[in-house]
Amino acid sequence: MKVLVIGSGGREHTIAWKVAQSPRLSKLYIAPGNAGTASLGENVDIGASDIDELVEFAKENEIDLTIVGPEQPLVDGVVDAFQEAELAIFGPDKAAAQLEGSKAFSKDFMARHNIPTASYKTFNNFRPAKEYLKTVSLPVIVKASGLAAGKGVIICQSIGEALDALEDIMKRHAFGEAGDKVVIEEFLQGEEVSIIAITDGENYKMLLPSQDHKPAYDGGRGPNTGGMGAYAPAPVASEEVVEIVRKDIIEPTLTGMKEEGHQYTGFLYCGLMITRDGPKVLEYNCRLGDPETQVILPLLESDLLDVLESVIEGGFAEEPVELSDDFATCVVAASGGYPGKYSKGKEITGLSDVDADYAEVFHAGTKERKGKIVTDGGRVFGVTCRGETLQKSIDRVYEELDKIKFNGMQFRSDIGRKGLRYY
């Protein structure tokens, strides 16, 4: 099979790494990829959002399967464009990807189908939103409805902060068109977990529950980032919790989408808060998570190409999706200053000292320059280690990460610690 992976982050390096293990792979392309994916296949100089060029490339190179990493091309209709050209692609079409692309859509959808989520109101205009804020209890969450690269959610401790957030989004257009609508919602207390299923719209199979670490610094302090590390399986998602998530969240989501004429296929990511009243949906994503993928795919025993192909070609219900009994932890190394200003082009050393029996280095913001690997983004790479216990996977990952250096490297030293108290 000739496979094209779309994207350039740690998630896409991990997808490429998993695909590269399949005996069925004959040729792997990554568009645009990074220095890590270049060692697994051929990087193609086409941006993840350049849909027409991606279709053209897939046609010319007779790609058998395309796997989409990030949300933007899905929300923009990359799947529809490939399908029109009779090219096989894994992911939801544009209508189904609204579950992530529009928080106004997803909140109304959950309300229509009684799927547990924070209570909310949606606004198209500033004035009524401002009036509504006078009635809410604190803290309150203000969200831009559209895609905002994970930055469009503001947790407000006072009405003043909420008004500022509203003005930023609706008047100063801090997130562009993504802020034409806002969602104001109740603050949910609890522990977060990411549960991702693979689905053909009717059948679904769950991957292991994982936990991301969004704040930049130890103890959950500092500004939110794209994610500084993850581990799986996350024990907060007990068997009992997972059962509720199946019955009250995943199944009504798939049935609801189908009933509404937007059958959902692809990865369905449920960002959940486990509250005292049970799991509630914080958000849906229409793709795999980053850095969750860096721990989930190493714990998937089945051949990813077999699984994804069965979703597209049929036979998914009978296709085994086998998961490991191990744990995995991924720690992300970021450029100094991230998620604020940071510089690029720092040489990364020690990459080849990592013990390949235990650890994988998944590149994100890296590139090759004159035979050296240098930093090229905020999140630079993640190191993932498996272990028979969570503690072992954590100990190993920090031991391996210690071998890699670049100027200004920053990482959290408490990834996975939240999970240890369950053992």
* Residue 306, contacted partner among ligand AMP, ligand GLY, none, CB below 5-8 A by kind: none
Among 20, 44, 153, 300, binds ligand AMP (CB under 6 A): 153
Q: What is the residue type of 377?
A: G
CB of 282 to ligand AMP, least distance (A): 4
Q: What residue has token string 């720690």? A: 331
Angle (deg, nearest 10), helices 304-313 and 10-19? 90
- Residue 248 makes contact with ligand AMP by CB under 6 A: no
- Residue 100 makes contact with ligand GLY by CB under 6 A: no
* Residue 187, contacted partner among ligand GLY, ligand AMP, none, CB below 5-8 A by kind: ligand AMP
Among 252, 289, 377, 416, binds ligand GLY (CB under 6 A): 289
Among 1, 118, 244, 409, binds ligand AMP (CB under 6 A): 118
Cα separation of 37 and 246, whole Å?
34
Q: What is the DSSP letter of 62?
A: T
Among 93, 185, 200, 290, binds ligand GLY (CB under 6 A): 290
* Residue 185, contacted partner among ligand AMP, ligand GLY, none, CB below 5-8 A by kind: ligand AMP
Q: Which residues of 390-402 are buried (b: 16+ CB within 10 A; e: fewer)?
A: bbbbbebbbebbe
Per CB under 6 A, the segment of 140-148, 259-267, 286-294, 342-350 that binds ligand GLY is 286-294
- Residue 12 makes contact with ligand GLY by CB under 6 A: no
Burial class (CB in 10 A: 0-12, 13-18, 19+), 409: middle
Alpha helices in 46-191 (DSSP H): 51-60, 71-75, 78-84, 98-101, 103-112, 126-133, 159-166
Residues 213-272 interacting with ligand GLY (rule: CB under 6 A): 227
- Residue 110 makes contact with ligand AMP by CB under 6 A: no
Backbone angles phi, psi at 97, to 5 degrees: -70, -10
**Per-residue mark of binding to ligand GLY, 117-156 (x: CB under 6 A):** ---------------------------------x------
Burial class (CB in 10 A: 0-12, 13-18, 19+), 61: middle
The radius of gyration of the chain from alpha carbons, rounded to an integer in Å, stands at 21
Cα separation of 227 and 294, whole Å?
11
Cα separation of 24 and 269, whole Å?
27
Per CB under 6 A, the segment of 104-112, 184-192, 235-243, 364-372 that binds ligand AMP is 184-192
* Residue 153, contacted partner among ligand AMP, ligand GLY, none, CB below 5-8 A by kind: ligand AMP
- Residue 271 makes contact with ligand AMP by CB under 6 A: yes
- Residue 169 makes contact with ligand AMP by CB under 6 A: no
Cα separation of 393 and 303, whole Å?
23
Q: Which residue ranges make up the site for ligand AMP (CB under 6 A)?
A: 118, 141, 143, 153, 185-188, 192, 214, 271, 282-283
Interface with ligand GLY (CB under 6 A): 150, 212, 227, 285, 289-290, 292
